[in-house]
């Protein structure tokens, strides 16, 4: 081929490419509604009709989906329990118990201060936040959880810290079969919530349910973190987790043989499946059932004083904002949405979509 012919062919190819770029620019305008379809006759000479339809309607469909559904994926550090608010309404915050408590103590009305021949335990919320090395408090208006206990006999004892019986730490799980007792005349299934209006079926239906209690951990949790003030004790801090299938796992924060405040962290095992319970909100796939302290065999006898603050998670949140999110069916639906939103918090990108819903106006 002669050099002059090569130059002509190259020039022709460039002209066609420039023409295609102009057409694609006009396709984008059609997709956004800024231009009509009057030029499609010339466009069809270059691009087949089937491909032309795919480009135009594919672009327009993508634009529409972006307008209707805004998906945000974030790796975030969230505080799931600060102990700044007393949900027990009695000054003790969380329940403290030991493996030496008898059955009556476990099932009856909770006593935050209990002494027996075998052990002594006490729990309460204390004013003031964490204190750093300079003696300054992180937040003087905050609260921390304090516990005191001792065992009168040696052994590998366990100490448990669990949330109180309160709606904040309660969820209902439907089991997929009929509760035979609820079919009896005049018998109503009890609600898991103190406020019965928060139940999915406030009238007490026949569907069997399981009451789940614990701290909800939203998203795909990677790490669990907590601040602990210790005085060099021979104890190990652990957390008991449960997923939506009912599988439990105990994860170890570490030993408490240190002085002062320290943030302890533990990685969530990958074999513990975390299935989101809410496709729209990226809800809780894990529940923290309790914290537990394990006494080492060689631990010295004597009283133990420990303090806790800021239970946090590092989690991958996948959230979807959509028009109509504030439309709710009843108070139970409204409270559930607000609970999820409180856990995951808002973001700058979706500050409007994730604002709190006013449930007082919901019937």
Q: What's the chain look like in SS3?
A: CCHHHHHHHHHHHHHHHHHHHHHHHHHHHHHCCCCCCCCHHHHHCCCCHHHHHHHHHHHHHHHHHHHHCEEEEEEEEEEEECCCCCCCCCCCCCEEEECCCCHHHHHCCCCCEEECCCEEEEEEEEECCCECCCCCECCCCCEEEEEEEEECCCCCCEEEEECCCCHHHEEEEEEEEECHHHHCCCCCCCCCCCCHHHCCCCCCCCEEEEEEECEEEEEEEEEEEEEEEEECCCEEEEEEEEECCCCEEEEEEEECCCEEEEEEEEECCCCCCCCCCCCCCCCEEEEEEEEEEEECCCCCCCCEEEEEEEEEEEEEEEEEECCCCCCCCCHHHHHHHHHHHHHHCCCCCCCCCCCCCCHHHCC
Indicate whether 235 and 272 sit together in one domain.
yes
Is residue 222 in some structural domain?
Answer: yes
Is residue 270 in some structural domain?
Answer: yes
Indicate whether 28 and 94 sit together in one domain.
no
Specify the residue for token string 């729209």: 280
Q: What angle do CA 340, 286, 228 make, to 5 degrees?
A: 95
- For the chain, the distance separating the N- and C-terminal CA atoms, rounded to the nearest angstrom, is 83
Each residue of 11-59: pLDDT tens digit? 666 666 676 666 666 655 544 454 444 444 444 444 444 444 444 444 4
The domain boundary residue, chosen from 29, 46, 68: 68
Beta strands at 158-162 and 235-243: parallel, antiparallel or unpaired: unpaired
pLDDT of residue 337: 74
From first to last of its 363 residues, what are the pLDDT tens digits of the chain? Answer: 555 554 555 566 666 667 666 666 665 554 445 444 444 444 444 444 444 444 444 444 444 444 445 556 778 889 999 999 999 989 999 999 999 887 655 555 889 999 988 899 999 999 887 765 555 666 667 899 999 999 988 888 999 999 998 988 988 877 777 777 666 655 666 778 877 777 766 565 667 778 888 998 988 899 999 999 999 999 999 999 998 888 899 999 999 999 999 999 999 998 888 875 444 334 568 999 999 999 998 888 899 999 999 999 998 876 656 667 678 777 777 777 776 666 665 443 344 445 677 787 777
pLDDT of residue 183: 65
Is residue 199 in some structural domain?
Answer: yes
Q: What angle do CA 292, 151, 307 make, to 5 degrees?
A: 45
Indicate whether 93 and 159 sit together in one domain.
yes
Is residue 27 in some structural domain?
Answer: yes
Indicate whether 264 and 295 sit together in one domain.
yes
Strand partners, 231: 259
Is residue 92 in some structural domain?
Answer: yes
Is residue 363 in some structural domain?
Answer: no
Strand partners, 232: none
Is residue 361 in some structural domain?
Answer: no
The domain boundary residue, chosen from 47, 68, 89: 68
Range of the domain at 29: 3-68
How far apart CA 317 and CA 285 sit, in angstroms, is 11
Is residue 351 in some structural domain?
Answer: no
Among 165, 170, 200, smallest CA distance to 93 is for 165
Indicate whether 134 and 206 sit together in one domain.
no
pLDDT of residue 197: 72
Indicate whether 187 and 315 sit together in one domain.
no
Angle between helices 3-31 and 49-68 (to 10 degrees): 40
How far apart CA 181 and CA 178 sit, in angstroms, is 9
How far apart CA 274 and CA 89 sit, in angstroms, is 32
Indicate whether 84 and 190 sit together in one domain.
no
């Amino acid at each position: 081929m002669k050099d002059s012919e090569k130059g002509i062919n190259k020039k022709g190819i460039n002209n066609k490419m420039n023409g295609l770029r102009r057409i694609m620019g006009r396709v984008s305008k059609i997709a956004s509604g800024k231009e009509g379809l009057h030029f499609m006759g010339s466009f069809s000479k270059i691009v087949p009709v089937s491909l032309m339809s795919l480009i135009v309607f594919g672009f327009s469909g993508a634009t529409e989906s972006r307008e209707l559904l805004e998906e945000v994926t974030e790796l975030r550090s969230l505080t799931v329990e600060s102990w700044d608010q007393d949900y027990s309404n009695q000054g003790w915050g969380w329940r403290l118990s030991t493996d030496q408590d008898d059955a009556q103590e476990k099932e009856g009305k909770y006593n935050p201060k209990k002494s027996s021949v075998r052990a002594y335990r006490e729990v309460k919320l204390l004013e003031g936040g964490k204190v750093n090395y300079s003696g300054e408090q992180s937040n003087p208006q905050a609260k921390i959880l304090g516990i005191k206990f001792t065992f009168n006999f040696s052994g590998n004892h366990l100490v448990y810290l669990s949330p109180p019986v309160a709606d904040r730490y309660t969820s209902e799980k439907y089991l997929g079969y009929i509760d035979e007792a609820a079919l009896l005349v005049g018998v109503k299934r009890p609600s898991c919530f103190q406020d019965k209006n928060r139940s999915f079926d406030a009238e007490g239906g026949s569907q069997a349910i399981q009451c789940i209690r614990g701290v909800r951990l939203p998203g795909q949790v990677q790490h669990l973190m907590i601040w602990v003030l210790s005085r060099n004790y021979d104890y190990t801090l652990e957390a008991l987790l449960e997923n939506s299938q009912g599988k439990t796992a105990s994860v170890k924060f570490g030993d408490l043989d240190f002085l002062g405040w320290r943030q302890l962290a533990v990685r969530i095992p990958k074999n513990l499946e975390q299935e989101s319970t809410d496709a729209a909100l990226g809800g809780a796939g894990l529940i923290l059932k309790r914290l537990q302290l394990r006494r080492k065999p060689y631990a010295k006898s004597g009283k133990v004083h420990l303090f806790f603050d800021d239970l946090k998670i590092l989690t991958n949140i996948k959230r979807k904002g959509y028009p109509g999110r504030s439309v709710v069916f009843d108070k139970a639906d409204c409270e559930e949405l607000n609970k999820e939103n409180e856990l995951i918090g808002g973001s700058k990108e979706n500050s409007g979509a994730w604002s709190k819903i006013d449930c007082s106006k919901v019937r």
